[in-house]
């Protein structure tokens, strides 16, 4: 089989890879991108975009239930029409996928649909659905194959055919009840939206708290918000076996109790897509967890092979993968002796789209203290913010950590309405190296949620 040569070969069309492929192809390079089926990658097809579309509907439902409170009469009781919900989600996804395909082709890249497997240095064989094979090689190769849901080895779990974050998106009907294994951000987001939609949800979380990366008070506030929507939260609960019988799933826990539900969703983490990639043939080393080993410049252990996104161990967010693309683009263009761009010390915010939502950037209080920093902490109920009053969204807790002495903002955890938007304001202040007083004393438009930052950093809420 003849080998087709490219300047850049992208294996897996995730956020980093597709962005790089389009740019370099548009700049005149010979570029091939191999994608096994999801045009646009995980985010658009089965992750951020469809889930946040559904979260939006759940929130609208919650608000419509409160219509009378806002002076609006809605005849009858609002309910979910799952077919239309799915159609809308599919429409949002489909429009974005079609736009991506168009952009891919317009860039001049060669989009190769099929499964790639490395057979040698910087070389893959791609097999399409019809079994046709092509051999492609690149002067530079980028691995961006992402991650997929992990199903842990729990007795009976696989046989019980659990839902994953992917398969649940195609459900024909909402289950009457569901057990969610895992209390990380994916488990919490599904718990929140399903509970609002009327599903009886139980989260089974092995650790002592939901969202284990968060401070105990923030995680407790998220737990309380979920419970207020009817979610039952089982903490310190290890599932030891699962059985599906007569339309019921029974999850036996280590403490001898059982959680029963009509279905089960597994949300205990994601595993890198490297197992069948044949990376050893390309001289690319993997970590013990199966991630592609990269240095801070996203170089793998093989000359000319780079990796990006989830599979390279970057923070598991689309925006982190997008930043990897910028780093790769700079590093591929760097001439000899030029300083390469690094992933080190980048400030990566994230949001958890429960209702209310959590926006987080920088250190939590626990993380800051663990690094030995002397901190001052600000805590404020969201109900203190005028905008929260006008929109009737009073739930939540805002928290900030500043360094004692330097007044540097070390991080914030904002749980409340529109926190995913406000977080960018703090991130910019942190990137600009502002002292908290500069944010506190700036003129911020009223009445906005961002204005709440001025209160958060005021003497009323920031400890001395």
Ligand X SMILES: Cc1cc2nc3c(=O)[nH]c(=O)nc-3n(C[C@H](O)[C@H](O)[C@H](O)COP(=O)(O)OP(=O)(O)OC[C@H]3O[C@@H](n4cnc5c(N)ncnc54)[C@H](O)[C@@H]3O)c2cc1C
The residues carrying an active-site annotation are: 446
Regarding 343 and contact with ligand X (CB under 6 A), the answer is no
Convert 189-217 to b/e letters by CB count within 10 Å (16 or more is b): bbbbbbbbbebbbbbbbbeebbbebbbee
Question: Which of 440, 394, 436 has the alpha carbon at shortest distance from 411?
Answer: 436
Stretch that binds ligand X, among 153-161, 171-179, 286-294, 312-320 (CB under 6 A): 312-320
Q: What would the x/- binding string for ligand X be over residues 109 to 148, using CB under 6 A?
A: ------xx---------------------------xxx--
Site for ligand X in 151-170 (CB under 6 A): 165
Rule CB under 6 A: say whether 14 interacts with ligand X.
Answer: yes
How many CA atoms within 13 Å lie on the side-chain side of 383?
A: 3
- For position 321 contacting ligand X by CB under 6 A, the verdict is yes
Does the footprint of ligand X cover residue 96 (CB under 6 A)?
no
214 forms part of the interface with ligand X (CB under 6 A):
no
- Count of residues that bind ligand X according to CB under 6 A: 35
Structure tokens that stand for 355 in this block: 């209702």
Quick note: the x/- pattern for ligand X over 348-387, rule CB under 6 A, is ----------------------------------------
Min. distance of Cβ 458 from ligand X in angstroms? 31
Measured from the CB atom, the residue of 368 and 414 that comes closer to ligand X is 414
Instruction: Note whether 184 binds ligand X by CB under 6 A.
Output: no
Cβ proximity to ligand X, 35 vs 451, nearer residue: 35
Structural contact between residues 183 and 265, judged by C-beta atoms closer than 8 angstroms: no
Report if residue 15 touches ligand X, rule: CB under 6 A: yes
Among 8, 12, 109, 142, which residue interacts with ligand X (rule: CB under 6 A)? Answer: 12
Q: Per rule CB under 6 A, is residue 13 in the interface with ligand X? A: yes
Q: Which is nearer to ligand X, 318 or 393 (CB)?
A: 318
| 51 vs 343, beta carbon nearer ligand X | 51
Binding site for ligand X (CB under 6 A): 11-16, 34-38, 41-43, 47-48, 51-52, 115-116, 144-146, 165, 186, 273, 277, 309-311, 316-319, 321
């Amino acid at each position: 089989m003849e080998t087709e040569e490219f300047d850049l070969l992208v294996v897996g069309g995730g956020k980093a890879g597709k962005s790089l492929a389009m740019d370099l192809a548009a700049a005149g390079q010979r570029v091939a991108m191999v994608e096994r089926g999801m045009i646009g990658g995980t985010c658009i097809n089965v992750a951020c975009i469809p889930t946040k579309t559904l979260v939006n509907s759940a929130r609208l439902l919650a608000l419509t239930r409160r219509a009378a409170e806002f002076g609006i009469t809605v005849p009858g009781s609002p309910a979910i029409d799952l077919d239309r919900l799915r159609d809308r989600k599919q429409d949002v996804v489909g429009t974005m996928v079609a736009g991506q395909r168009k952009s891919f082709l317009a860039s001049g890249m060669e989009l190769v649909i099929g499964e790639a497997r490395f057979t040698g240095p910087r070389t893959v064989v791609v097999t399409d659905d019809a079994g046709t094979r092509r051999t492609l090689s690149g002067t530079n190769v980028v691995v961006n194959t992402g991650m997929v849901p992990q199903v842990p080895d729990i007795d009976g779990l696989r046989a019980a055919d659990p839902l994953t974050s992917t398969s649940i998106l195609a459900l024909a009907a909402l289950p009457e009840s569901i057990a969610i294994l895992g209390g990380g951000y994916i488990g919490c987001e599904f718990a929140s939206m399903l509970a609002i939609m009327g599903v009886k949800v139980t989260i089974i979380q092995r650790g002592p708290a939901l969202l284990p990366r968060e401070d105990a008070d923030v995680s407790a506030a998220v737990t309380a918000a979920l419970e207020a929507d009817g979610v039952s939260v089982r903490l310190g609960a290890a599932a030891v076996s699962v059985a599906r019988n007569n339309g019921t799933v029974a999850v036996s826990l280590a403490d001898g109790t059982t959680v029963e539900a009509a279905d089960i969703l597994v949300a205990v983490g994601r595993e890198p897509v490297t197992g069948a990639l044949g990376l050893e043939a390309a001289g690319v080393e993997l970590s013990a967890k199966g991630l592609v080993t990269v240095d801070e410049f996203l170089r793998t252990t093989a000359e000319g092979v780079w990796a990006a996104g989830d599979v390279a161990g970057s923070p598991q967010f689309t925006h982190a993968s997008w930043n990897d693309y910028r780093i790769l683009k700079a590093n591929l263009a760097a001439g000899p002796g030029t300083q390469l761009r690094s992933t080190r010390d980048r400030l990566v915010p994230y949001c958890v789209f429960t209702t209310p939502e959590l926006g987080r950037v920088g250190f939590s209080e626990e993380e800051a203290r663990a690094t030995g920093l002397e901190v001052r902490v600000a805590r404020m109920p969201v109900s203190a913010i005028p905008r929260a009053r006008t929109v009737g969204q009073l739930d939540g807790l805002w928290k900030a950590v500043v360094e004692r002495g330097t007044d540097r903002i070390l991080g914030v955890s904002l749980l409340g309405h529109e926190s995913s938007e406000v977080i960018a304001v703090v991130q910019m202040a942190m990137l600009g190296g502002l002292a908290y007083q500069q944010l506190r004393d700036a003129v911020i438009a009223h009445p906005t949620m961002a204005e709440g930052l001025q209160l958060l950093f005021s003497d009323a809420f920031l400890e001395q």
